[in-house]
């Protein structure tokens, strides 16, 4: 596949922070990842398609509903699904810094493939976190145990014994666990109504889950990437923890959901700069390859307008 030109890439930016350090893109995940320079990202946190939409049924709010979430979530067969996971994880490996880490969520439908792809590509798996949901939906078929957990795989690009040391804030996690080593089973409630006030995504993850992962494995001002942004929860977690972020989402309705959530979060936070709706040419990735100690400036054009103001002008 041919690489995107700078003009094509610029046209896919739908939101950026006013300080030009964080962005939301509207692209296919692979195109997005291929446009990022090698060895430039501190951490990736993502919730990829589980590929479980098979016309089956589940229980939502006490009602029997189909599990189908969209064409983006349909399985293409074991081999094709694994190739898909291998392709995007290969790009993630390329863009991560030598000591960078990646977090990937999944259920039994996908985490076995993701785990195998991680090993095949040379990642070192550090933990398989079990996210336990306190009040899971019942199993309607009554032919197996109720699905009450999801797996979050945590891996690093740094080989064992390497001079490159990945970040892990052990003491902070220990303190959070009451002075004991934090276990790999985390009981965290799913995203509540307060996280869905601007709309909801069918596989939305709670900010608390992402927040803990990011705080454990990154430092303030580190760059976090999410190629499957969904509801934008990764961006919200980054704003709350002082991390820069690059989000990408392919589906238009979830791009808009993410933009609204991020802008709302910025308005709630103190000493935060608002985001802007991107009008025309924006972002160059070149500065992402610079040292994290340097100021990253992605904005190449000042032809941006506040989204709300733009809407008002259009309406009139």
Number of separate domains in the chain: 1
Q: pLDDT, tens digit, for every residue of 26-70?
A: 999 999 999 999 999 999 999 998 665 554 545 565 666 555 556
Asked if residue 287 has pLDDT above 70, the reply is no
CATH code, domain with 74: 3.40.50.150
Instruction: List the single range of 3-7, 48-52, 251-255, 279-283 with lowest mean pLDDT.
Output: 279-283
**What pTM was estimated for this model as a whole?**
0.80
The verdict on residue 274 lying in a domain is no
Average pLDDT score over the chain: 81
The verdict on residue 153 lying in a domain is yes
**Residue where the block lists tokens 């969209």:** 70
Query: Higher-confidence residue: 113 or 147?
Result: 113
The verdict on residue 299 lying in a domain is no
Query: Higher-confidence residue: 306 or 173?
Result: 173
The pLDDT, as a whole number, for residue 67 is: 54
d(CA 17, CA 296) in angstroms, rounded, equals 12
65 conformational bin, left if phi > 0, alpha if psi -120 to 50, beta if neither: beta
The verdict on residue 269 lying in a domain is no
The verdict on residue 83 lying in a domain is yes
The verdict on residue 44 lying in a domain is yes
The pLDDT, as a whole number, for residue 169 is: 98
The pLDDT, as a whole number, for residue 297 is: 29
pLDDT band, residue 264 (cuts 50/70/90): very high
Q: Which domain holds residue 186?
A: 25-254
HSE-CB at 144 with a 13 A cutoff on CA atoms is 2
Residue 95 · residue 43 · CB < 8 Å: no
The verdict on residue 15 lying in a domain is no
The verdict on residue 51 lying in a domain is yes
Asked if residue 296 has pLDDT above 60, the reply is no
**CB proximity list for 76: less than 8 A, separation 6 or greater:** 51, 84
HSE-CB at 186 with a 13 A cutoff on CA atoms is 24
Asked if residue 276 has pLDDT above 60, the reply is no
Instruction: List the single range of 128-137, 138-147, 219-228 with lowest mean pLDDT.
Output: 138-147
Among the residues of the chain, which ranges form H helices? 6-10, 29-34, 78-95, 111-121, 170-176, 207-217, 233-241, 252-268, 307-315
- Both tokens assigned to 173: 């996690």
The pLDDT, as a whole number, for residue 63 is: 62
pLDDT band, residue 269 (cuts 50/70/90): low
**CB proximity list for 56: less than 8 A, separation 6 or greater:** 66, 67
Query: Higher-confidence residue: 181 or 282?
Result: 181
- Both tokens assigned to 265: 């979060």
d(CA 269, CA 71) in angstroms, rounded, equals 36
The pLDDT, as a whole number, for residue 97 is: 98
Q: Cβ–Cβ contacts within 10 Å for residue 227, how many?
A: 26
What does the DSSP assignment read for 164-178?
A: ------HHHHHHHTT
Asked if residue 163 has pLDDT above 80, the reply is yes
HSE-CB at 162 with a 13 A cutoff on CA atoms is 13
The pLDDT, as a whole number, for residue 310 is: 33
Query: Higher-confidence residue: 264 or 135?
Result: 264
């Amino acid at each position: 596949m041919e690489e995107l030109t700078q003009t094509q890439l610029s046209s896919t930016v739908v939101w950026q922070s006013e300080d030009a350090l964080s962005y939301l893109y509207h692209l296919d995940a692979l195109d997005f990842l291929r446009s990022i320079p090698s060895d430039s990202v501190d951490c990736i946190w993502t919730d990829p398609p589980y590929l479980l939409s098979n016309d089956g049924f589940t229980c939502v709010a006490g009602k029997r509903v189909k599990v189908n979430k969209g064409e983006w979530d349909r399985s293409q067969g074991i081999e094709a699904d694994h190739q898909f996971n291998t392709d995007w994880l290969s790009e993630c490996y390329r863009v991560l810094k030598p000591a960078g880490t990646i977090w990937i969520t999944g259920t039994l439908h996908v985490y076995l493939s993701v785990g195998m792809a991680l090993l095949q590509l040379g990642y070192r798996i550090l933990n398989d976190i079990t996210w336990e949901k306190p009040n899971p939906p019942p199993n309607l078929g009554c032919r197996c145990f109720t699905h009450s957990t999801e797996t979050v795989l945590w891996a690093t690009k740094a080989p064992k014994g390497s001079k490159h040391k990945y970040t892990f804030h052990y003491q902070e996690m220990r303190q959070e666990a009451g002075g004991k080593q934090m276990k790999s089973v985390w009981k965290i409630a799913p995203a509540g109504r307060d996280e869905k006030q601007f709309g909801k995504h069918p596989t939305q993850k709670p900010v608390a889950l992402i927040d803990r992962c990011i705080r454990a494995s990154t430092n303030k001002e580190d760059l976090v990437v999410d190629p499957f942004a969904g509801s934008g929860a990764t961006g919200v977690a980054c704003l709350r923890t002082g991390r820069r972020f690059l989000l990408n989402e392919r589906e238009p309705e979830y791009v808009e959901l993410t933009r609204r959530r991020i802008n709302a979060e910025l308005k709630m936070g103190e000493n935060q700069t608002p985001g802007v709706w991107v009008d025309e040419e924006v972002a160059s990735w070149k500065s992402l390859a610079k040292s994290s100690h340097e100021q990253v400036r992605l904005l190449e054009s000042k032809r941006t307008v506040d989204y709300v103001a733009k809407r008002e002008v259009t309406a009139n």
